[in-house]
Amino acid sequence: MVDPTPRADPAAPFPPELAGARSLPVSRFASIPQLTLLASTLGRLRKNRAAVVSFIFLLLLLIPTFFPAQIAPYDPIEISPDEILQPPSRTHWFGTDQYGRDILSRIIYGTQYSIQLGFIAVGIAVLLGLPLGLISGFYGVWLDNILMRVVDIMLAFPGILLALVFVAILGPGLNKAILAVGIAGIPAYTRLVRGSVLSVKQYAYVEAARVIGCSNLRILIRHVLPNVFAPVLVLATLGIATAIISGSTLSFLGLGAQPPTPEWGVMLSTGRDYMRGNWWISVFPGLAIMVTVLAINLLGDGLRDALDPRLKV
């Protein structure tokens, strides 16, 4: 009996649309979906004008962050008794404070402290919260119950209050404030990652990987982690803005950076007694915090929309 199923002729020419694919390794094809996803995400992000403008603004902030001495017109700490409380002018664009220090120069130098605080604090929260959420969501049972009860207790406190508790234990100082803000942010990332893992580990490809003998560590790294990365990235971007506000709040209360450090929260604190007659001492640092946080939030919203294919930018 003749088999009616048509068979491919090995001598037949290779389809034009797949020309050259025979010589490519399998790994090249495995990376195509990821490259396509990245390209589509960037394409959606470029359509969001607010996110693009915010991204450019944050890139420009990197210049005073790394090269403040080359940009600032004056020394941010040097006291000038002859120029005390000068209003904004051509000589001092943002005026001077009660010690004759140039406000613009102090804001430029303060950029490095605020950006450093935001990124390092979020880095601490992600590095500790991500593995805790992965372990809690993937293994579950008694370990999940213990971790989640600790997280619930930490989430019962407002973030800034929790940071105040830690900085009160650690003591005042910029580095200790960064650590306190980072520890206070751990519960949010742990809870987010745990929820994502509980959803992802029910997918068929995770069960298939377990059936063919993949270890739990390999499943976590190769199959679960890439699928929880997008929400963590969005939360981390928005978390930088929250960390900057929390760090400035601690400095404003005298628990973060200490005078004469040109940190934005410190500048707000030292200028609050001069608000009525010398408004520029506090207004310009406040505007620096507001504009930076706004740009980060707009970029975070744009990333959220770009990473979610169900949303149209």
pLDDT tens digit sequence for 62-89: 999 999 999 999 999 999 988 999 999 9
Structural domain contains residue 112: yes
Structural domain contains residue 35: no
Name the domain count of the chain. 1
Summarize pLDDT for 21-57 with one digit per residue, the tens: 333 333 333 334 555 666 777 777 888 889 999 999 9
Summarize pLDDT for 208-246 with one digit per residue, the tens: 877 787 777 888 888 788 888 888 999 999 999 999 999
pTM value? 0.82
Structural domain contains residue 1: no
Structural domain contains residue 23: no
Looking at residue 214, the DSSP 8-state letter turns out to be -
Q: Which residues contact 128 (CB under 8 A, 6 or more apart)?
A: 182, 183, 186, 189
Residue 54: give its domain's CATH number. Answer: 1.10.3720.10
CA distance 248 to 270: 13
**Confidence tier at 309 by pLDDT (50, 70, 90):** low
In sequence order, what are the beta bridge partners of 102? 96
Structural domain contains residue 210: yes
Residue 140 lies in domain: 48-69+96-307
CA distance 180 to 33: 40
Structural domain contains residue 285: yes
Kindly state the percentage of the chain with pLDDT values over 90: 47
Structural domain contains residue 56: yes
